[in-house]
Chains A and B, each alone.
Chain A
Amino acid sequence: MIVFAPIIIPLLFIILSLSVAKASKKVQQTVFLSGNIITIGVAISILTTVLKEGIIVAQAGAWEAPFGITIVADTFSAIMLTLTSITVAVVSLYSLAWRENNLNTPVFYALIFGLQMGMNGAFVAGDLFNMYVWFEVMLLSSFVLISYGSDKKQLKGTLKYVSMNLVSSFFFVAGIALLYGKTGTLNMADLAYRVREMGPELDIFAPSALILMGFAIKSAIFPFFFWLPDSYHTPPLPISALFSGTLTKVGVYSMIRFYALIHVPGDSFFTQMFLFIASTTMISGVLMATSQFEVRRLLSFHIVSQIGYMILGLGLFTKLALTGAIFYIIGHCIVKTNLFLLSGIAYKITGTFDLKKSGGLMKHKPFIAVLFFISAMALVGIPPLSGFFGKFMLLKAGVESQEFIHVASALFVSFLTLFSMVKIWNESYAKPIPEEIINQGFKFGKAPKQLIASSVLLVLITISLTVGSKFIIDTCATAADQLLNVDAYINAVLHI
């Protein structure tokens, strides 16, 4: 029953936060934060249950699979649930202290819970069409959130975001329709069973390609990434941080989940394609990032580049590679959110997102400089920080599978990532404020303590990923094992 909780709790809190609309700000904020904390609690209890007892399955409405809607939580889903609920909670804490863009309203709280409900639903969906519906729930909330405040530049970004996501939803649902016509089922376990049962007789190449393309647009990989840097830097900063940390990961999650189900040994087309896409995504993202001077745009291009690493794990498709990819998703989600939050803090202090116009943060606020340094190094993958483990496992898996070109490009991209992190460091932290800005009467602003506290929380999580790396890598390995061992998944859902 507990698998339903990640969906029911956010829905409950949507209702609660709308119904306390007339109450005082204190009550509203308490409801908001307690909702987030309860969701984390639920996610962690699911994770512990899954680790103890294996895959949890529940049937909505007590209709047996494959006829009803199945809700499944395996280790990978549970990891993603925990990860996103923690990220959402920290960003929520941050947004309460942001004090710009009119973020503290019941509608905003309800939208955040709506987003969370959609993501959680997509993580536990055991049925492709159900997953599509949860995607739509998530997208509807994100459409409103990304246009929240609606200034002109933002609406331009929103237009790109909305239209690209509608196109990707179209591919997704068209693929689902074709798949249903070919196999007669949309239950993921049943689908995997039939794919394995019928073997090469069943040709599901076209629907799979369509569905994977839908996911590819959503997770912003080459050549469909252009919408992401164009839209993610426009909304109010807490919303950008939330999106960049969590939303693209949902696309990657569904890609890994779906491909693991339909993967048949010896499938060289998709594997080669994923590897090719991984390298091109990594390289094109990072090359475009290096030329940016708007810090949010720069970080957005980095999201694209790092999605490439996750796809690399999918392309290699060995246990080690998937473990690395999942670990990389965890580390990246936390670190990338934190870099966005820190750029918001820097904005509060220097009053600009433009790297050329900012500076002097290391002298003025050394503590924030330390926070940035740790996060940036974790993103680059300097040992012993979190990015290192993910990259190391991916590279090792690449060497084992003898994909040397892709290993080389991953290493090359690491250097460029280091370069652009150093660029932010130099421009925003190390160099003094430019003369002409000082001449215009520049004064350092103040960042509320709560903003810094939420960033500290994320840095602590990054460090604890290193400290507890053995446990976390073991958990990721279990998740990878379950992804590769589809028979256990089929058995848990269908009892065959």
Chain B
Amino acid sequence: MNTTLLQLAAKFIRSIMLVASVFILLRGHNAPGGGFIGGLLASAGIVIYTIAFYSLPLLSKTLRTIAPLRIVGLILALGSGILGLIFGESFLHAQWFKLNIPILGTIDLSTPLLFDIGVYLAVIGVMVMVILLLMEDRKWN
């Protein structure tokens, strides 16, 4: 879909959606949001960019860079459970670490956050892959 309007908008939309997705991901611990929704948002941003600048090289490049994310995501999610098993009492037992950064103050890091990041990456990997492969297969665009 090579229209200038969409191309112009898509660059901004992708950046905004990626930033918003990270915000939603981090907010998810105590409020609506989280890894799954964040991942969906981010993949929507990536997909809209690929639609606007559609070309086969771009498609295969996106697929190549995105595909490993699902494996990394699964490793992080499983890893957060294993960390609970090693440092805590049980599989998936939440572990909290305090991190002191001079200007920003104290940040709470936890294995649930790691789990959520894993979900986020896995969702991006799978969703982008599914949509792009369907696009390619159905000659859509």
Contacts and interface: CB of A to CB of B under 8 A. Distances in A.
Given A1-B85, A15-B71, A62 B90 contact: yes
B88 A62 contact: yes
A279 interface: no
Interface stretch (A4-12, A127-135, A291-299, A374-382): A4-12
B58 to A, nearest CB: 22
Contacts of B71: 15, 18-19
B70 A58 contact: no
A348 B74 CA distance: 38
B6 interface: no
Interface residues of A, number: 14
A61 interface: yes
Interface in A37-87: 58-62
A14 interface: yes
B74 A58 contact: no
B65 to A, nearest CB: 15
A60 B82 CA distance: 11
A184 B78 CA distance: 31
Interface stretch (B31-39, B45-53, B91-99): B91-99
B78 A12 contact: yes
A14 B74 contact: yes
A8 to B, nearest CB: 7
Interface string B75-91: 10010011011001111
Given A1-B85, A4-B85, A8-B81, A61 B92 contact: yes
Given A1-B85, A4-B85, A60 B91 contact: yes
Question: Which applies to chain B's interface (DSSP): helix, strand, loop or mixed?
Answer: helix
B74 A60 contact: no
Contacts of A61: 84, 90-94
Contacts of A19: 71
B78 A1 contact: no
Question: Which applies to chain A's interface (DSSP): helix, strand, loop or mixed?
Answer: helix
A298 to B, nearest CB: 37
Interface string A1-43: 1001000100110110011000000000000000000000000
Given A15-B75, A15-B78, A62 B70 contact: no
Given A61-B92, A61-B93, A18 B85 contact: no
Contacts of A58: 90-91
B78 A60 contact: no
A60 B93 CA distance: 7
A8 B93 contact: no
Contacts of A8: 78, 81-82, 91
Given A8-B81, A61-B84, A1 B74 contact: no
A321 B32 CA distance: 50
Contact of B74 (A4, A11, A59): A11
Contacts of B92: 60-61
Contacts of A1: 85, 90-91
A12 B91 CA distance: 14
Interface in A181-223: none
Contacts of B78: 8, 11-12, 15
Contacts of A11: 74, 78
A4 B70 contact: no
A287 to B, nearest CB: 44
Contacts of B85: 1, 4
B33 to A, nearest CB: 20
Contacts of B74: 11, 14-15, 18
A4 B81 CA distance: 10
Given A15-B74, A18-B71, A59 B81 contact: no
A472 to B, nearest CB: 31
A60 B111 CA distance: 14
A19 B70 CA distance: 10
Nearest to B93: A62
Which of B78, B88, B90, B91 counts the most A-chain CB atoms under 10 A from its CB? B91
A98 B93 CA distance: 42
Nearest to B70: A18
A59 B91 CA distance: 8
A8 B82 CA distance: 9
Contacts of B93: 61-62
A19 B89 CA distance: 30
A1 B84 CA distance: 11
A12 B81 CA distance: 12
Given A11-B74, A15-B71, A62 B89 contact: yes
Nearest to A1: B85
Nearest to A60: B92
A352 to B, nearest CB: 33
Contacts of A18: 70-71, 74
Contact of B90 (A12, A15, A59): A59
B113 to A, nearest CB: 14
Nearest to B75: A15
B40 to A, nearest CB: 18
A14 B122 CA distance: 13
Given A18-B70, A61-B84, A4 B75 contact: no
19 contacts: A1-B85, A1-B90, A4-B85, A4-B91, A8-B81, A8-B82, A11-B74, A18-B70, A18-B74, A58-B90, A60-B90, A60-B92, A61-B84, A61-B93, A62-B84, A62-B88, A62-B89, A62-B90, A62-B93
List 9 A-B pairs, minimum CB-CB distance, nearest first: A62-B90, A62-B93, A61-B92, A62-B89, A4-B91, A15-B74, A60-B92, A19-B71, A18-B71
Given A19-B71, A61-B92, 14 more contacts: A1-B85, A4-B85, A4-B91, A8-B81, A8-B91, A12-B78, A58-B91, A60-B90, A60-B92, A61-B84, A61-B90, A61-B94, A62-B84, A62-B89
